[in-house]
Amino acid sequence: MKIFKIILLIILTAVLGTAVFVYWLWRTGDLQKTVVQEITNKVTNQSDQSLLTEALGFSRTRTYLVLFLNNTELRPGGGFIGAYALMQVEKGVPHILKVEGTEILDNLGNRDFVSVPPAPLSKYLKVSRWFFRDSNWSPDFPISAQKSMELFLKQTNQTVVNRIDGVIGFTPTMIEEILKITGPIKVDGKTFTAENFTANLEYEVEYGYAKKGLDFASRKNILSDLASVLLQKLRFDIFKNWQRYYELSERMFREKQLVIYSDQLAEQQFLALKNWNGQMKKTDSDYLLWVDANLGALKTDVAIERELSYQFFKDKNGRILATAKMTFIHRGQFDWRTSRYRDYARIFVPLGSQFVSSTGAMEMEKSKALGKIDIGEENGRAWFGTFIAVEPGKIGELAFSYYLPPAIEESIKNGAYNLLVQKQIGTIAPKLTLGLNFDKKLVSAKPGEMSAKHGDNRYDPQTDLKEDREFRVLLSK
């Protein structure tokens, strides 16, 4: 397993170096030489070694797009893309080609191409073009990453690079976790801690820059200053506290605060095997993925608590009627950072599921008209979507009811039921409650229930969606 630790270190240090948009750490070349030497000494699997050396640009220079996914403004693919970096890696050494806020590219980039945005973006954000900043509309990161690459190349008219080999996405949650190890850092007289990092950074790029006399185009220069200070700490600390950083990188992948896509099939298969690529996993069993998109609600996701429930029972016709309900608890108020929550929500369910009804849908905020339910298919799943708004200090609920497809009904009839509930990239840890009435006795379940619940017809576990959750139930026939 040593090779996986080495891979994680490479990814972690590369992401840290580009996440805050400088490559100060790499100037001396000492780190990459050390890592390459470790690979040479420790890798015995020729296939893994080949993948690593290819990804690190030893046979040809690799170009990567790095996305800052702000999960306080949640989007399907992790969070609003507020800034990005373009990085080339040559023989293990990264070079930053471009760093800027996405608004600069979207406002000044090539407008000669036509890219029609998804309907909810047009309706709720009033945009007529699909911009790079909104490119992560799919909850499947490989699909979102491909769209990000496509729009970037079109908007730059391929004047910076003519191809991109992969995409790295990370949320500010990852930087907060790093600061828990390094401790506070000071930049421009401000102290950034794990607790205030995101809020302080958002304030500086939204309002603080003007008070310092900076123009709009320079408002995100603070990222470079943060990077320089943080990476000075990390230069040696990442080796001194090796185990803590290794465990952190593993956890960030599991919790989908760090995701990676490669356009090379073998590399993408490796990333999928390690669950590092944020994809919607394929399964023939029951499936649920709830996806929220903050559309014009500032950074309000920081104030939203989520509780997801999934229930089903057999109706009078013998069909399995399922209901997925999300409860939104708005802990914020109207201020510079939070507002009413404006959310376009979708659930992804097994193909062949049949929509029945919905509660809580709105046509628009403050509207008494019931919202329209959109229905579609994507990436081998059925999906249902609609809009909801939640005022500060209030609780909102949105639910979708649908019939599960015959194949799952048949599996339950035959005494077996499996469920995969995936978490949305960038979410923290929504509560998850199941209430599954099989109308037949349970023989066993994993995860199990309290002993007081053994021997009945229901399965009622409670957990969270800090990471993907799988459930397996055996039933009497």
Q: What are phi and psi of 373, to 5 degrees?
A: -100, 120
Model pLDDT, residue 16: 45
- Whether the predicted pLDDT of 56 surpasses 90: no
DSSP state of 126: -
Looking at residues 107-116, what average pLDDT do you find? 84
CB 182 within 8 A of CB 233: yes
Instruction: Give the pLDDT score at 34.
Output: 54
Give the angle 96-102-107 at the CA atoms, nearest 5°. Answer: 125
Q: Please report which helix (H) or strand (E) contains residue 402, including its range.
A: strand 395-403
pTM check: above 0.85: yes
Of 205 and 300, more confident: 300
Domain boundaries, the chain: 2-273, 286-475
Mean local confidence (pLDDT), 21-48: 48
Fold classification of 2-273 is Aminopeptidase (3.40.630)
- Check whether 110 has a pLDDT greater than 90: no
The burial of 306, by beta-carbon neighbours within 10 Å (0-12 exposed, 13-18 middle, 19 or more buried), is given as buried
Which residues does 106 contact at the CB level (< 8 Å), separation at least 6? 131, 132, 133, 155
Three-class secondary structure of residue 175 per DSSP: helix
Give φ, ψ of 208 to 5 degrees.
-60, -35
Q: What is the mean pLDDT of residues 267-271?
A: 91
**pLDDT for res 177:** 95
**Cα–Cα distance between 381 and 351 in angstroms, integer?**
5
Highest mean pLDDT among 52-61, 74-83, 183-192, 452-461: 74-83
Strands, E assignment, 239-380: 258-262, 286-294, 304-314, 320-330, 341-350, 354-359, 374-378
What's the distance, Cα to Cα, between the start and end of the chain in Å? 42
Q: What is the mean pLDDT of the chain?
A: 87
Q: Which of 1-5, 43-47, 69-73, 402-406 shows the lowest per-residue confidence on average (mean pLDDT)?
A: 1-5
* Cis peptide bond prior to 350, omega within 30° of 0: no
- Looking at CATH, the fold of the domain delimited by 286-475 is given as Immunoglobulin-like (2.60.40)
Whether 2-273 shares its CATH topology with 286-475 is answered no
pLDDT of residue 46: 62
Is pLDDT at 403 greater than 50 in this prediction? yes
Token digits of residue 256 = 């989908």
CA-CA distance, 408 to 413, in Å (whole number)?
Answer: 9
